[in-house]
Amino acid sequence: MSRQRGEGFPRRAGRPAMGASMSGVIVRWLDEWGEECFVSLMLSALILLLGVEVIMRAVFRHSFPWIDELCSYLFIWSSYIGVAIAMKRKEQLRVLCLMERVEKRFPRVGVTCYVISELTFTVFCCLVVYFSIEMLESMMQYTQVSGTLEINKIYVYLVIPISMVLTAFRTLQSLYRDYRSGNMRFKGRGD
């Protein structure tokens, strides 16, 4: 009895299955870890820069004003992208005490409220994208430059439409996955 290559042996973790395209593997990795990796890099840079600033002030009695500004921008970007991460993991803030009671007595009403809630939040994200793009267009006409880094502030505010598009996508993706799994209900972190 001869074995075909790869038959009968467990696949090692982290390696794509035979026949899986590399682009599929990349898309799956981005879906699972893209935002987390991006935010982790930004927060790591923020911590490193703040550490350098503290050492410079304490030891050398000198500071770099641009570090404070850059750390502020890194924090803003991390916070906005963090909203999409929270939506993906279903860890966003919600008041669930009323919905838990409704779901117990009227399961169909609970499902309807869940879908309406998710779609309403998606519409909100789309409205924020629309108005933030208008804001960015006006900022392009009247350039604002940051104080110490002297970069165009449009790069700071660009996070608003990017994060809201990502958040809307993650909300719809979560709703779709819940529909496919047959688990259309509000979930808390402990669920």
pTM above 0.95, yes or no: no
- Sequence spans of domains, the chain: 23-181
Looking at residue 19, its pLDDT comes to 54
Looking at residue 186, its pLDDT comes to 72
Torsion sign across C-alpha atoms 94, 98, 100, 105: negative
pLDDT tens digits for range 113-163 = 889 989 999 999 999 999 999 999 999 999 899 999 999 999 999 999 999
One-letter amino acid of 96: L
The total number of residues shown for the chain amounts to 191
Q: Give the span between the Cα atoms of 88 and 174, in whole angstroms.
A: 7
User: Cβ of 47: how many Cβ atoms within 10 Å?
Assistant: 12
pLDDT tens digits for range 77-87 = 999 999 999 99
